[in-house]
């Protein structure tokens, strides 16, 4: 049976969903961007997340952050829409770009909590009436985090245009997954993809290159990744396998029309985890239009992703 409890996490409230029989569960802090702090499979914590309230309040690494209205980088923080110019604050000083939008910092409301014998979920929501200067469009963003003993952990994101005009939108998530002390001892397998070629400011050049290094599962060892990938875009699920001798995880993201057809993979310098980030659009999509969705009034963009622990036979 899943049980829901609330705990103080500094000045924040942490919502915990846990099944003592299976050791599966998750925790989330709604008032700081709906940030996930823990995902447990068999009592093993599989995310590298913020460990203190102070780290969560800053979260410079965007650990488990929800990414909207764009994921990844926006060149110079600037974009044009409907013949008007807008500019996001520069928060990636090294490249003079805006990074990951503002989803990390919004305070989300708890709409619903559910627990049963075999699953649990929480629905969070954020509404903005158009108060953000860099993105002055009314919108509603909802996320449902759920866990099931059979299907693992799932994230459902939905962005709805509440404006009287069209709005550009990209969404994503920024989890870091960990198994063991270092990713050097883990193996990785990526789905069918092409690598996005970038310049020295990490902005796409417009070219894609074939990428087969992790087409089959192979040890990560000292491989360094901070790359975006274009998936094949066929309707269904793209899967990433991440494993060591003790545990095997399968991350998945929904692909197809207006889904998560892009993927960012990042190995941070500490080598203790790996970021596997679903994106609905390319890097700098507000400018290059690659995968960018422009929603008409009352239209929505919705996509799912998740992670599950596999058995030894799978």
Both structure tokens of 121: 């979920």
pLDDT in tens, 69-127: 999 999 999 999 999 999 999 999 999 999 999 999 999 999 999 999 999 999 999 99
**Alpha-carbon span 184 to 63, nearest angstrom:** 20
Q: Which residue has the tokens 């974009």?
A: 79
Predicted local distance difference test score (pLDDT) of residue 311: 81
Q: Classify strands 248-255 and 293-295 as parallel, antiparallel or unpaired.
A: unpaired
Q: What is the pTM of this model?
A: 0.97
Residue 312 has pLDDT above 90, yes or no: no
Confidence (pLDDT) at 193: 97
Please name each of the domains of the chain with its CATH number. 2-309 (2.70.98.10)
| Sequential DSSP letters for 153-210 | EEEEEEEEE-SSS-EEE--EEE-EE--SS-GGG-EEE--SEEEEEE-TTS-EEEEEEE
The alpha carbon of 292 is separated from its chain's Cα centroid by a whole number of angstroms, namely 17
Reported as a single tens digit per residue, the pLDDT across 172-199 is: 999 999 999 999 999 999 999 999 999 9
Are the C-beta atoms of 179 and 186 separated by less than 8 Å? yes
pLDDT score for 233: 87
Q: pLDDT tens across 139-184, in order?
A: 999 999 999 989 999 999 999 999 999 999 999 999 999 999 999 9
**Tokens 């970038």 map to which residue?**
198
């Amino acid at each position: 049976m899943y049980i829901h409890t609330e705990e103080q996490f500094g000045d924040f409230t942490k919502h915990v969903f846990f099944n003592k029989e299976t050791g599966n569960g998750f925790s989330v802090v709604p008032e700081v961007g709906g940030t996930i702090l823990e995902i447990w499979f068999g009592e093993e914590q599989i995310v590298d997340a913020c460990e203190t309230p102070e780290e969560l309040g800053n979260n410079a690494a965007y650990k488990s952050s929800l990414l909207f209205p764009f994921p990844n980088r926006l060149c110079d923080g600037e974009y044009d829409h409907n013949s008007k110019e807008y500019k996001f604050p520069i928060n990636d000083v090294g490249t003079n770009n805006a990074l990951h939008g503002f989803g990390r910092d919004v305070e989300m409301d708890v709409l619903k909590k559910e627990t049963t014998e075999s699953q649990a979920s929480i629905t969070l929501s954020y509404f903005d009436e158009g108060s953000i200067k860099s993105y002055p469009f009314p919108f509603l963003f909802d996320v449902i985090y759920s866990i099931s003993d059979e299907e693992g952990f799932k994230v459902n994101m939905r962005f709805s245009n509440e404006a009287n005009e069209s709005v550009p939108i990209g969404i994503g998530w920024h989890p870091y997954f960990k198994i063991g002390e270092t990713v050097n001892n883990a193996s990785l397998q990526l789905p069918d993809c092409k690598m996005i070629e970038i310049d020295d400011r990490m902005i796409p050049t417009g070219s894609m290159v074939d990428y087969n290094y992790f087409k089959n599962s192979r040890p990560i060892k000292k491989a360094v990744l901070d790359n975006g990938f274009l998936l094949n875009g066929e309707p269904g699920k793209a899967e990433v396998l991440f494993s060591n001798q003790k545990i095997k995880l399968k991350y998945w993201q929904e692909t197809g029309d207006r889904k998560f057809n892009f993927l960012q993979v990042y190995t941070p310098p500490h080598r203790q985890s790996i970021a596997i980030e679903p994106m609905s659009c390319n890097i700098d999509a507000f400018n290059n239009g690659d995968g960018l969705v422009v929603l008409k009034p009352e239209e929505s963009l919705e996509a799912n992703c998740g992670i599950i622990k596999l058995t030894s036979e799978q």
